[in-house]
Amino acid sequence: MTDQQQPTNVETIRTEVRDHVGTITLDRPAQRNALTRGVLAEISQMLDSWGAEEAVRGIVLTGSGPKAFAAGADISELAGWTLTDGLAAPMQRLCDRIQDFPKPTLAALNGVAMGGGLELAMSCDIRIAADHATMALPEVGLGVLPGAGGTQRLSRLVGTGRALEMILTGRTLTAEQAERYGLVTTVVPAADLLSTAAEIMATVLGKGPLAIRLAKLVIGPGSDTDQRTGLLLEQLAQTLLYTTEDKAEGAAAFLAKRAPEFDGR
């Protein structure tokens, strides 16, 4: 695989690799990129492929068209879901997988992010939004709850009080409100969304790849435990990094006033 690869189409997504970043574009604009089992399976397949591909060092998720990132689960499928489907939890398992993905991930919200669409975005490491984007978890209006991690990830991002208010009312946030809440980190004009995503990913990928991977491993579990245990995880991760060639290169580059050339060892 080269640094730049022509876009490819599956059935419900488009993919492209450029400058070591793999972009997955949800491609059902007529359905506002609603998430079906087929969409989930195709995203999972790309994670399989790119997780093992050294030339892909980060992933961006976005939606096609100017209106929607993803409008949530396809209601025509939801209507037929049963207790067995709930226990299988395919959407929750995919979001867990994205959260635990060893490479950095970024969601670029090009429009509406509702229900499962917002849950998909929340599973990414970084979220940015076009200035016209809106987001909500409206599931209680359908007699269900946000079941792909929404009840857990939202409270960790915006706090329990705001999470309860958003979920219990189903209230829709503007991009600016989401930025104030900490649900997204950056809001930009729609025309600048993908270039901003590329700039952010380029910055991330310019850092030590082992340090990035261990930071993800420490921050996630560390936020779910007490501070003393989190600090121990941090100490152990730092101790490992002290033994790497990346650490030696980073220090040498800093002292020589040059850009580092990390190789992930």
Residues classed as catalytic: 119, 139
CA–CA distance, 103 with 124 (Å, rounded to integer): 10
DSSP structure class, residue 124: S
Task: Give start and end residues of each alpha helix (H) in the chain.
Answer: 37-51, 75-78, 83-88, 90-99, 116-122, 150-158, 160-169, 175-181, 193-205, 209-223, 227-241, 245-256
Q: Classify residue 149 as left (phi > 0), alpha (psi -120 to 50) or beta.
A: left
- Per the CB < 8 A criterion, the answer to whether 196 and 233 are in contact is no
Report the C-alpha gap between 88 and 164 in whole angstroms. 25
Cα 40 to Cα 43, 91, 141: the distances in Å are 5, 7, 23
Angle, to 10 degrees, between the axis of helix 245-256 and the axis of helix 209-223?
110
Using left for φ > 0, alpha for ψ between -120 and 50, and beta otherwise, residue 145 falls in beta
Query: Pairing relation of β-strands 112-114 and 134-136?
Result: parallel
Task: Report the alpha-carbon angle 125-131-133, nearest 5.
Answer: 70
